[in-house]
Amino acid sequence: MKIKIIILLIFTGYLSSCNNLLEEEMHSQLTDNFINTAAGLESAVVAAYQPLRQYYGNERGMTTTVFGTDIYTYGSDGSFKFFNDYSSQLDARNTYSQEIWNNFYIGINTCNAIIERGPTVTDAPEATRNMRIGEAKFLRAHHYFILVQTYGPIHLSLQETTGVQTESSRSDIKEVYKVIVTDLEDAITKLPATTGSYGRATKAAAEHLLARVLLTRAISTAAETTDYERAATLAQNVIKNYNFSLLPDVFQVFAQDNEQNSEIIFAAQYINSPIYNGDGPNNASRFFLMEYDVQPGMKRDLPNGTPWKRFRPTNYLLNQVYQNREHDVRYEKFFKHVFYANNEASIPKVNGTPKYTVGDTAIWLPGVELPAAVINQKRYQVITPSKYTPKLYPSLRKFEDALRADNQANGVRDFPMMRLAETYLIAAEALMYSGNTAQAVQYINTLRQRSARVGKTPEETLLHQQAMTITEAELNIDFILEERARELVGEMFRWFDLVRTHKLVERVKLYNPEAAANIKETHILRPIPQDQIDRTTSNFPQNPGY
């Protein structure tokens, strides 16, 4: 009998303990309730910034904004040349259109969660909550703004997704802009003028972004009559009301370790720590660089960087935009002209003696043609414009990144998204279209004079500055576009600028020989990712022409 009792005991023992065995305890993951706490809300706001890294300084963001324009075409390498030449491979299956779409919509859902749940997070002070909601609105507006410019009419989602959603639709760009503008207006009221943690959105950033949005909307089918005026006012606010200032030396704006300078209004943040530098990568330093590393006397090193030779300046950029090099230092400051020998083994020899030593000039790009006699005198390699190839060309220096751990490491520099120079250009354009050309010219001239060459004497400097000024008669949208190219080259504005001003097709045909044959009106929008169409249960039309 004892046995039976024992067996019975064993069974009852099991039975009594079985029900809690089926309960799950989470230890290594967080559930979505976390966002309802103060700490959770903070972390969600941090996460809302993450899509910026998926775009700025990143290959997909740069590929879709830098080349395929009038000022940049493709270099020798890279898998996404069709974004430059607009060939039939630029279709709905391309991964960049898809990734940009996905990343920003993930970001939008994060913002929605913050905006919706923020007010109910009781253990955070109201002031903090409001500020965080302001940040989320700023970011949501930013994400939607990139999307609407890239894809046209898009799906609007203003509520956090809590269940399975398989329907989506395309809202008219009027609706989309309304959301963007409202969000930014709200953000302006909620955001502080300055922030204790550098890199978070501020009131100035929201004003600047709204100015840019209105400038864009003003010439679109969603235009409202006050757009230019409001844009001008907002831009002027940013210029006047905060402590931003144009740096006297334009190169200092892009000097490494000087990213937090007084010209920066808002920047996508990167950091020199492999643990926190994920979610990128920032490769901005690589795309513009020519193939210096296999030239005589050279090898690849960290200060010079990794030459991916993706983006090559067009002749238009070099010869027309940067025509004035006598008074304007921007070509000189923004491009690399000399490479210094760093590889003893490959220095050319004459009768067994090296022509030069490590540290001497190995490559010089004078930027102009030189007589053969002059070139022949040089011990080092001289690459004049006639010798430019898809691998050898003037390299943009704005994003040089020598402080990375090594040459395989991702970029560690902030990527400027809004800087005061652009505010000046926005103000000028908005004022010009509002009929206030006089003031517009003032902003343009202030900006231009900053880049005037510094002479040996104050008088000489003054002469250079005078040469940089333009008159009201000279101001028109083509001039502004050219000025934007001169100032903002490489900063991920160009494709948007050309689309905004309806000049993409015209200018690409004129100045980008690789793309001229293919580009057509279709290309003012990117294709809607095929995944979006395939996975949506409602009808989600493709952009025309794709």
Partner 1 sequence: MQKTTKEWQKAVIGLFMLYAYNAPAEAAALYAKDVKSINNLSASVNSIPIVNWNIAGKVVSATGEALPGVTILLKGTTNGTATGVDGTYSLSVPETGGTLVFSFVGYTTQEKTFSGPGPLNITLADDAKALEEVVVVGYGAQKKSDITGSVVSVKSEDITVVPVTNASQALQGRVAGVNVTTSGSKPGAGVTVRIRGNRSFSAGNDPLYVIDGIPITGGLNDISPQDIESMEVLKDASATAIYGSRGANGVVLITTKRGKLGKPQLTYDSYVGFSQALSKVDVMNGAEFAEYKRESRRATGNYDDIDPDADAKLFQPVELESIELGRSTDYQDMMLRKGMIQNHQLGLNGGTESTKYALSLNFFQDNGIIKIQDMTRYTVRLNIDQQIGKRIKLGASTLASKSVINGYDLNPYDDALAENPLGVPYDEQGNLIFLPTNDGLRSNPLSELVPGANINREDRMRIFSSLYGELSIADGLTYRLNFGPDLIQSREGNFTGRLTNARRNNDPTAGTIENQVFNYTLENILNYNKTFAEKHSIGFTGLYSVQQRQFEETSINVQGVPAEQMEYYNLGSALTVSGVGSSYQRWNILSYMARVNYGFKDRYLITLTGRADGSSRFAEGQKWGIFPSVALAWNIQNEPFLHDVAWLSMLKLRTSYGETGNTGIDPYQTQGSLSRTTYSFGNTGVLGFRPGAIRNNDLRWETTRSANIGLDFGGWNNRITGTLEFYQQNTRDLLMNRQLPLTSGFGVVLANVGSTRNTGVELSLSTRVIPGNENGSFSWDIDLNAFANREKITKLFQGEEDDIGNAWFIGQPIRVFYDYEKIGIWQTDEAELAKVYGQQPGEIKVRDVNGDNKITADDRVILGSDRPKWQGGITQRFAYKGFDLSVFVFGQFGNMILSRIHDGDRTSLFGRYNSLDVDYWTPTNPTNAYPRPNQNQETPIYRSTLRYFDGTFVKVRNINLGYNVPTNFANRIRMQSLRIYATAQQPFVFSSYVSKYKGVDPEIDPDMTDVQTPSISQYLLGINVRF
Cβ-based nearer residue to partner 1, 406 or 459: 406
- Count of residues near partner 1 by CB under 8 A: 110
Q: How far is the CB of 418 from partner 1 (least distance, A)?
A: 16
Cβ-based nearer residue to partner 1, 394 or 527: 527
Cβ(405)–Cβ(273) under 8 Å? no
3-state class (DSSP) for residue 304: coil
Cβ(323)–Cβ(305) under 8 Å? no
Cβ(280)–Cβ(58) under 8 Å? yes
Q: How far is the CB of 178 from partner 1 (least distance, A)?
A: 18
C-alpha 518/C-alpha 167 separation (Å) is 34
Cβ-based nearer residue to partner 1, 31 or 243: 31
Binder of partner 1 out of 202, 233, 269, 434 (CB under 8 A): 269
Applying the rule CB under 8 A, the residues between 356 and 415 that interact with partner 1 are: 405-409
Cβ-based nearer residue to partner 1, 328 or 414: 414
Binder of partner 1 out of 20, 225, 353, 471 (CB under 8 A): 20
C-alpha 444/C-alpha 481 separation (Å) is 12
Applying the rule CB under 8 A, the residues between 182 and 241 that interact with partner 1 are: 197-200
Q: How far is the CB of 409 from partner 1 (least distance, A)?
A: 8
Applying the rule CB under 8 A, the residues between 45 and 64 that interact with partner 1 are: 45-50, 53
What phi and psi values does residue 396 have, to the nearest 5 degrees? Answer: -70, 135
Q: Tell me, residue by residue from 421 to 460, as one string, x for binding to partner 1 by CB under 8 A and - for no binding.
A: ----------------------------------------
Q: How far is the CB of 22 from partner 1 (least distance, A)?
A: 5
C-alpha 13/C-alpha 6 separation (Å) is 10
Q: How far is the CB of 506 from partner 1 (least distance, A)?
A: 20
Pairing status of strand 361-364 against strand 381-382: parallel
Q: How far is the CB of 349 from partner 1 (least distance, A)?
A: 15
Q: Mark the segment that binds partner 1 (CB under 8 A) among 58-66, 84-92, 228-236, 485-493.
A: 84-92
What phi and psi values does residue 239 have, to the nearest 5 degrees? Answer: -65, -40
Task: Tell me if 106 contacts partner 1 by CB under 8 A.
Answer: yes
Binder of partner 1 out of 36, 76, 262, 442 (CB under 8 A): 76
Q: In sequence order, what are the beta bridge partners of 395? A: 336
Task: Tell me if 533 contacts partner 1 by CB under 8 A.
Answer: yes
What phi and psi values does residue 503 have, to the nearest 5 degrees? Answer: -115, 5
Q: Is the dihedral of CA 88, 510, 310, 66 positive or negative?
A: negative
Cβ(172)–Cβ(206) under 8 Å? no
Cβ-based nearer residue to partner 1, 220 or 536: 536
C-alpha 328/C-alpha 342 separation (Å) is 31
Binder of partner 1 out of 113, 173, 191, 432 (CB under 8 A): 113
Q: Is the dihedral of CA 447, 451, 456, 460 positive or negative?
A: negative
Q: Mark the segment that binds partner 1 (CB under 8 A) among 217-225, 236-244, 361-369, 533-541.
A: 533-541
Q: Mark the segment that binds partner 1 (CB under 8 A) among 57-65, 101-109, 220-228, 453-461.
A: 101-109
3-state class (DSSP) for residue 419: strand
Q: Tell me, residue by residue from 158 to 177, as one string, x for binding to partner 1 by CB under 8 A and - for no binding.
A: --xxxxxxx-x---------
Task: Tell me if 23 contacts partner 1 by CB under 8 A.
Answer: yes
Q: How far is the CB of 314 from partner 1 (least distance, A)?
A: 16
Q: How far is the CB of 316 from partner 1 (least distance, A)?
A: 20
C-alpha 478/C-alpha 484 separation (Å) is 10
Q: Is the dihedral of CA 94, 95, 96, 97 positive or negative?
A: positive
Q: Mark the segment that binds partner 1 (CB under 8 A) among 38-46, 222-230, 234-242, 442-450.
A: 38-46
Binder of partner 1 out of 157, 304, 342, 381 (CB under 8 A): 157
Instruction: Give the ranges where 321-474 is alpha helix by DSSP (H).
Output: 330-334, 372-377, 420-433, 437-450, 458-468
Cβ-based nearer residue to partner 1, 310 or 507: 310
Q: Which of 400, 392, 446 is nearest to 421 (CA)?
A: 446
Task: Tell me if 546 contacts partner 1 by CB under 8 A.
Answer: yes
Binder of partner 1 out of 306, 342, 449, 451 (CB under 8 A): 306
Binder of partner 1 out of 326, 350, 537, 544 (CB under 8 A): 537
C-alpha 440/C-alpha 443 separation (Å) is 5
Q: Tell me, residue by residue from 502 to 521, as one string, x for binding to partner 1 by CB under 8 A and - for no binding.
A: ------------x---x---
Q: Mark the segment that binds partner 1 (CB under 8 A) among 87-95, 123-131, 316-324, 330-338.
A: 87-95
Task: Tell me if 326 contacts partner 1 by CB under 8 A.
Answer: no
3-state class (DSSP) for residue 88: coil
Say which residues have a Cβ less than 8 Å from residue 546's Cβ, sequence separation at least 6. Answer: 91, 92, 522, 527, 528
Q: How far is the CB of 544 from partner 1 (least distance, A)?
A: 11
Q: In sequence order, what are the beta bridge partners of 328? A: 452
C-alpha 289/C-alpha 75 separation (Å) is 9
Q: How far is the CB of 518 from partner 1 (least distance, A)?
A: 7
What phi and psi values does residue 468 have, to the nearest 5 degrees? Answer: -85, -15
Q: What tokens appear for 26 in the block?
A: 């989470």
Binder of partner 1 out of 66, 71, 92, 515 (CB under 8 A): 92
Applying the rule CB under 8 A, the residues between 232 and 261 that interact with partner 1 are: 260
Q: How far is the CB of 460 from partner 1 (least distance, A)?
A: 39
SS3 readout for 496-527: HHHHHCCCHHHHHHHHCHHHHCCCCHHHHCCC
Q: Which of 368, 307, 301, 373 is nearest to 340 (CA)?
A: 301
